[in-house]
Structure 1
């Protein structure tokens, strides 16, 4: 058997290769349709076996989302959010204009960042999913502490864009919303593979019940 050589996948990565035959029996018909068309799935946070990846399938409408598990051996292609920040496109949706606007701001941070959500999906696939009111979903990889003051300054910079921008800070233990970390609440919601919890510092390993 030829093993794929992809680096470890991370939440928000887009993966190709899921066979229709591997879909669970309770999968709606639209899931088989989009997978049959060759659409990618997106990596999500969940605890699964080492040889598997937790993924989600997106359909044509916002209510069409389906969670399942994909075998790592089935991955034929992986596109990470960082690979999408400079993708050329003729689309003129506000969300993509916003991406061009904030590009210099994000680059100055000196940290890996990328495009997720609907904008990432369209940039990676060319499949039209964006519309006039789409938000821009970004990720920022922050392996080390990112202060609340830094977060507040980044929120201010991003708020000058043409559309709303939602950014998730990717810490070693999960993801936290930039706007929430920039706020005044003592604890923020950390989304981890084993669930979500309130923590005081997303860069310290949280303990259940702490």
Structure 2
């Protein structure tokens, strides 16, 4: 199995391995066959930190699972190739976004409620929902180019939450593109303010 990354959706976690403190809705989600999402946290090398999502926005439960228990993994990038004809209420919104991102040579995908719905077919997105996106950025992203991306994405008039995944963690595209001197980087260790989220020495 390839290395698991934040926002990947995983199947294979069972209710038998949940902590006794797990809420009833989390148990029900697993019993219904819903995937869990990889989150950022330090775990034993044999484990992966995951989150279970319920039907309500506030229903999020953090846990972990054995990597050996994973029977299926869907990355945000794979969801870009889903046939949107199956999701007529999302099709127009997502087509406009993909047209913008496909102009840039970046690896990107859907996360959040949109990613969950595209992966499972379970309707979780409504008209007021944010559209969550991730761009994998192994190399430094020039701020001017980031600003161009942001402007073009904002022209879609969609309410977007776009994260850049650097080797050190995740940062918001909007923060990086608007030239803030320090921006919030979320890593497995902590959330810290940095000047350059690609520069390892800043926060280790």
TM-score tier (shorter) = over 0.9
Structure showing the higher helix proportion among its residues: 2
Q: 2:87 aligns with which of 83, 86, 91?
A: 91
* Equivalent position of 2:165 in the other structure: 170
Rounded Cα–Cα distance in structure 1 between residues aligned with 2:108 and 2:93: 15
Contact 1:15–1:42 (CA under 8 A) maintained in structure 2 = yes
SS in 2 for 1:85: helix
Contact 1:17–1:74 (CA under 8 A) maintained in structure 2 = yes
Q: 1:59 aligns with which of 51, 54, 62?
A: 54
* Equivalent position of 2:38 in the other structure: 43
Q: 2:148 aligns with which of 149, 153, 161?
A: 153
TM-score, scaled relative to structure 1 = 0.93
Contact 1:31–1:66 (CA under 8 A) maintained in structure 2 = yes
Whether 1:120 aligns to 2:111 is no
Whether 1:204 aligns to 2:193 is no
TM-score, scaled relative to structure 2 = 0.95
Q: 2:187 aligns with which of 186, 192, 195?
A: 192
Whether 1:105 aligns to 2:100 is yes
SS in 2 for 1:132: coil
* Equivalent position of 2:26 in the other structure: 31
Contact 2:117–2:124 (CA under 8 A) maintained in structure 1 = yes
Q: Spell out, residue by residue over 1:160-205, the C-alpha distance to the aligned partner (whole angstroms, 9 max, x if none).
A: 1142111111101001000000123200000101011000001101
Shift of 1:80: 0.2
Structure 1: which 5+ residue stretches go unaligned? 1-5
Shift of 1:91: 2.6
Q: Spell out, residue by residue over 1:20-46, the C-alpha distance to the aligned partner (whole angstroms, 9 max, x if none).
A: 100011000111101011100000000
Which stretch of the first structure deviates more once superposed, 156-165 or 102-111? Answer: 102-111
* Equivalent position of 2:64 in the other structure: 69
SS in 2 for 1:55: strand
Rounded Cα–Cα distance in structure 2 between residues aligned with 1:175 and 1:200: 13
Rounded Cα–Cα distance in structure 1 between residues aligned with 2:123 and 2:100: 27
Rounded Cα–Cα distance in structure 2 between residues aligned with 1:59 and 1:70: 18
Rounded Cα–Cα distance in structure 2 between residues aligned with 1:32 and 1:140: 31
Give the RMSD, CA atoms, in angstroms.
1.3
